[in-house]
Amino acid sequence: MALNKKTFFNFFLGQKNNFSKGKDNSLLNLDLMFYPKSIALVGASSDDKKLGSIVLKNIIDSGFKGEIFPLNLTSATILGLKTYKDYEDLPSIPDLALIAIPAKFVLEVLEKIIKKGTKNVVIFSAGFKEAGLEGLALEQDLLEMIKKSSTDGSIKINVLGPNCLGFVNNLFPVNVTFGQPVNKKGNLRFISQSGAIASSVFDWAEYNEIGFSEFVTLGNKTDLNENDVLKYFYENDISSQTKEEGNSGLVPVGMYLESIIDGKEFINISKKLSAKNPLFLLKPGKSNESKKAMQSHTGSIAGEDYVLDVALKKAGIIRCDGIEDFFDLAKVFAWEKIPKGKNIAIISNAGGPAVLSSDFVAEEGLKLVRFDEETRNELEKHLPRAASILNPVDVLGDALAERYESAIKTLIVDEDVHSLLIILTPQVMTQIEQTAEVIGRLSLEFSKPIICSFMGGSHIAKGEKVLNKFKIPSFRYPERAVKAIARMSQWAEYRDLLNVSSGSVISSKSVISTKESDLSQDKQNFEANKILSKVLTTDRKNLDSFEANGMLQAYGINTPPTKKCMGLDDARSFVQENSFPVVLKISSPQMLHKSDEGGVIVGIDNDEILEEAFRSMQKIMENMKESNFNSIQIQKQVAKGLELIIGSKKDIVFGNVLMFGAGGILANLIEDRNLGLIPISEAEVALMIKNSKVNKLIEGYRGEKGYDSTKIADLISKFQTMISSHPEISEADINPVILNDDGIWAVDGKIILI
């Protein structure tokens, strides 16, 4: 199959439409993928340097109790197991098939696997779309074979990979990877698009004595993707299987993704998981350089990064700033209880780190709790006179384990303290291991989260080992500890919001019956479709001002009185009906930013200025192309008020993104960009307005009269209804929206089609 560069690019963009969106997820059953009773390994080897040997050894060493069928053309036995030359020769149908052979032989083998009846396949082989055009063609053929695997209505095959490391299920147990052995069971779940990231997590987890339940690597995601695995995680609650003394009691999910196949599905399933357990994500793509690297690595096409941040917030997912952050969150979410609030208390045996940590607390949005008199008196009883009983609590450099214990016991029962940060520096008298033992015992006794920062190197290493034994998160630098606590609090806010506000999408028709609402919606769509149909016959992408106004009016959005002027007499006639002041504009599909190009004249309040402005507009139009679609528009000038902007843009991954903020000349001046993914709930809209820079003016700044924010929410409702009803709209905005005592007005609308 020959593919040119254009086809190469289009495959990346359209792969989700080729198959992923077309999957019948009701038929998706991954139980036998992750809990197989029998495994076949195509490409098994006796050479311990080859992938097929490493995978086979990992399966055996993991304690897998099912049948194993190694396939090898030359050896009669491998590692004491009988081998088979051909998949058709296997004595039974394996639940899971593993392919560890060169890419060019994969399709031939997969055809035999399908014929035999195996429904779950892991393809380790590299050399597909990540390797260029030839590999892309091979992957397209692989995709077609997967799609055709179920022609009789039976369940299709599930394929993980190609170009993946495999997966680990420590709950079963089974390890079908070519990474290092990872047999320690814990409560963490991981999904990784990169095998190398997975290998580093394996090593890090072993060093820190952290266990995990499941680890799935995705590779090229030709078939199974992150949404399939997340759905499987959601449908298979393992909380009862992973409860262990010292654990957080949660089942956190960590993800490394270079692309997201179906953004809307990703958000929907993530919200369900995030309402109970933390999800945290490491995703590159903030720079153009990283986007290029991802294309060469796994063939990913990255969406707009700022949209990803909005999507993750909507889904309740914490975004990691880097690999270190990724590891830190894995540790705290796996081991420590979630704080009930943002109040933090710090105990330290050194003043400098304590003071620095106070800055970190403020930067991360946490609060240093002020101790009440009872707590201060209790601290005074147990600490030396020179110690500080304020927050941070300085137990002094000569503090032994007993002094730390007294301070911790006092603060951990204070209801105003939501989390404790314990800082230890290795001074001459410091009892590092004994202090760690004290912290560990108190952590088991009390449910309040304790995070440590044992600062230093070799001297504090033994203390860290003790803390690991008790599952107390510890970091070499206090800023990392503070940041981890902040992320825990952030997830708690996400969780509470998801659980409390399963917010219904706002609707401007909420005051009328459903039947009446449906009829009204149909009428709106009918009127708007008439306008769009007319535009599409002209083969244009951009609507002119009148067409854009018509679209807005169809959905009940107020626009000022306006008229198309064939001549100056039409303008004067409009003034007689509507009075001065008025505005003149050039209505043209090619002039999207009228103010920047001299296409708007405001403040016209007498006939002399009207005539002069009209002549000026005519001169500009004489130099414009496509004269058939250009005209002069006169509009009643809206009374002064607060200028806002409302807009939307279609993202390739997550769909329509809505923006709200300060409009007019302030739109670019103060960059008040507040984003949300359509559909947007009432709670989300309220938060967008509250978090905007312009909200101070809405509420009333320095004694000035404020504005009615419900009118803004109502306009956003109508605007998103328009956008949702017409998938052919690529971009749209109203700038400015003017909010005044008379109401809220869409003064200038712009709509661009796909």
DSSP E strand stretches across 557-625: 562-565, 582-587, 600-604
Q: How far apart are CA 477 and CA 479, in angstroms?
A: 6
pLDDT of residue 418: 98
Q: Are 384 and 392 in contact (CB under 8 A)?
A: no
Question: Among residues 200, 272, 208, 286, which one has the least CA distance to residue 234?
Answer: 272
Range list for CATH 3.30.470.20 in the chain: 642-753
pLDDT of residue 596: 61
Indicate the pairing of strand 419-424 with strand 450-454: parallel
Listed in sequence order, the residues at least 6 apart from 746 whose beta carbon sits closer than 8 Å to its beta carbon are 549, 552, 557, 558, 559, 715, 734, 737
Q: How far apart are CA 673 and CA 307, in angstroms?
A: 12
Question: Among residues 27, 54, 23, which one has the least CA distance to residue 166?
Answer: 54
Three-state SS at 103: helix
Three-state SS at 273: helix
Q: Are 339 and 261 in contact (CB under 8 A)?
A: no
Q: For the chain, what is the largest distance between any 2 Cα atoms, rounded to a whole number of angstroms?
A: 101
- The CATH homologous superfamily of the domain defined by 5-332: Succinyl-CoA synthetase domains (3.40.50.261)
For residue 208, CA distances in Å to 185, 194, 465, 469 come to: 13, 21, 8, 9
Q: Are 366 and 417 in contact (CB under 8 A)?
A: no
Partnered with residue 359 across adjacent β-strands are: none
Neighbouring C-beta atoms of residue 104, cutoff 10 Å: 12
pLDDT of residue 536: 87
**DSSP letters spanning 69-134:** EEE-SS-SEETTEE-BS-GGG-SS--SEEEE-S-GGGHHHHHHHHHHHT--EEEE----SGGG-HH
Q: How far apart are CA 466 and CA 438, in angstroms?
A: 10
Cα angle, residue 491 at apex, residues 485 and 496 outer, rounded to 5°: 130
Residue 488's identity, in one-letter code, is M
Three-state SS at 661: strand
Q: Classify residue 249 as left (phi > 0), alpha (psi -120 to 50) or beta.
A: left
Q: Are 480 and 453 in contact (CB under 8 A)?
A: yes
Tokens for 575, please give them: 């003034």
Q: What is the pTM of this model?
A: 0.88
Looking at 3.40.50.2300, 3.30.470.20, 3.30.9.10, 1.10.357.10, the CATH number of the domain 642-753 comes to 3.30.470.20
Mean pLDDT for each 10-residue chunk of the chain (754 residues)? 44 44 59 97 96 97 97 96 97 98 97 96 96 95 92 80 97 94 92 94 92 97 97 96 93 96 96 97 73 40 73 96 95 97 97 95 97 97 96 97 98 97 96 98 95 96 96 96 98 89 44 50 90 89 92 96 94 96 88 70 95 92 74 94 95 94 85 92 92 95 90 97 96 95 94 94
Q: How far apart are CA 406 and CA 423, in angstroms?
A: 15
Question: What phi and psi, each to the nearest 5 degrees, are found at residue 370?
Answer: -90, 120
Range list for CATH 3.30.1490.20 in the chain: 514-636
DSSP E strand stretches across 465-620: 562-565, 582-587, 600-604
Listed in sequence order, the residues at least 6 apart from 152 whose beta carbon sits closer than 8 Å to its beta carbon are none
Tokens for 54, please give them: 């490493």
Question: What phi and psi, each to the nearest 5 degrees, are found at residue 650?
Answer: -85, 120
pLDDT of residue 675: 93
pLDDT of residue 513: 39
Q: Are 369 and 312 in contact (CB under 8 A)?
A: no
**DSSP letters spanning 353-393:** HHHHHHHHHHHTT-EEPPP-HHHHHHHHHHS-TTSB-SSSE
539 burial type by CB count under 10 A (0-12 exposed, 13-18 middle, 19+ buried):
exposed
Q: Are 49 and 57 in contact (CB under 8 A)?
A: no
In eight-state DSSP terms, residue 647 is: E
Q: To the nearest 10°, the Cα dihedral for 450, 453, 458, 464?
A: 10
- The CATH homologous superfamily of the domain defined by 339-500: Succinyl-CoA synthetase domains (3.40.50.261)
CA dihedral sign of residues 107, 109, 112, 114: negative
pLDDT of residue 710: 96
- Fold topology of 514-636: Dna Ligase; domain 1 (3.30.1490)
Q: Are 105 and 99 in contact (CB under 8 A)?
A: no
Range list for CATH 3.40.50.261 in the chain: 5-332, 339-500
Question: Among residues 389, 376, 273, 260, which one has the least CA distance to residue 333?
Answer: 273
Residue 682 CA from chain centroid, whole number:
21
Indicate the pairing of strand 212-217 with strand 188-192: parallel
Q: How far apart are CA 207 and CA 204, in angstroms?
A: 5
